Amino acid sequence: MAHHETNHTLKPEQLLGPLNDVEQKYAPAVLYAMGVMEIPLPTPRAAIVGSREPSSNGIKAAREIATGFVKKNVIVVSGLAKGIDTVAHTTAIEEGGRTIAVLGTPLNGVYPKSNLELQEIIKRHHLVISQFPIGMPTMREHFIFRNRTMALISNATIIVEAKDDSGSLHQGWEALRLGRPLFIWKSVLDDESLVMPKKMLEYGAMRLSEPDEVFEFLPSQDRALVVNQ
C-alpha cells in the first residue's frame, strides 16, 4: 500500500472491480483520484449525506453514525459539501477512521472554499475522487453527477437530513436504482412536511434508527489480505 500521495486516472472498474450493466449505465468514463488509499478500494464503504444547513440534531446524528462506522472499520464516504458532509468527513478523521471525498469540482477545485483545508487533509491522508478533469469549469449539475458517482462508490447510502429538493435525494434514488441499500435517518421520515423520503420507502429505502442497523447490509471487510483460504 502506497503511503505517498498518488494521482490516478482510473476507469471505474479499476477503482471498484467489475461493474454490472446497471452500474455501468451512469458510471463516469474515468475517475481522477488523489490520496493514499489502496486501489481497488477496500470495503466496506458507506456514504453519509445530508443537508448543507443541518439542524443540531442532524449534526449529532451524522457524528453518531460516522463514529459507529469508524468503530467497525467502515470507510466514510461523503461529498465535501458544507453541513452534514463536512461533519461526516471530520468525524471520521477525528475518530481515527478513513474517509473518501467525492467532489463536484475537479481535483484542483474546492467547493465550498471553507473546506480547502479539509480537502487537503483528505488528499494527503485518505482519498479524494472527481469525475471532472482538471481545468473543467464547475456547473450546478456536476453536483448531481457527483451524487450519482458517490452512490456507485458506496456499498450503502445514509441520508441523515434532507429537504424534498435536496441533492442527497438524487443520491438516494441512484442508490435504489443500483440496488444498493439506502437508509433514511428516522427524523427525516418523521418530518411531516417532507414527501420524497417517504416515497423512497415504497421503492425499498429503509428507516434507520440506530447506526448499527447498517452493518448487516454491508459487505464484509476486504479479504484481499487472506491468503490460501
Measured distance CA(104)–CA(162) in Å, rounded: 18
pLDDT > 90? residue 166: no
φ, ψ (nearest 5 deg) of residue 146: -60, -40
Q: How confident is the model at residue 188 (pLDDT cuts 50, 70, 90)?
A: very high
Tell me the pLDDT band of 229, cut-offs 50, 70 and 90. Answer: very low
- What average pLDDT does the segment 161-180 reach? 90
3-state secondary structure the chain: CCCCCEEEEECHHHHHCCCCHHHHHHCCCCEEEEECCCCCCCCCEEEEEECCCCCHHHHHHHHHHHHHHHHCCCEEEECCCCCHHHHHHHHHHHCCCCEEEECCCCCCCCCCHHHHHHHHHHHHHCEEEECCCCCCCCCCHHHHHHHHHHHHHCCEEEEEECCCCCHHHHHHHHHHHCCCCEEEEHHHHCCCCCCHHHHHHHCCCEEECCHHHHHHHCCCCCCCCCCCC
pLDDT in tens, 98-152: 999 999 999 999 999 999 999 999 999 999 999 999 999 999 899 999 999 999 9
Convert the pLDDT of each residue in 200-221 to its tens digit: 999 999 999 998 999 999 998 7
6-217: CATH topology? Rossmann fold (3.40.50)
Dihedral sign for Cα 7, 10, 12, 13, please.
Answer: negative
Residue boundaries of the structural domains of the chain: 6-217
Read off the pTM: 0.93
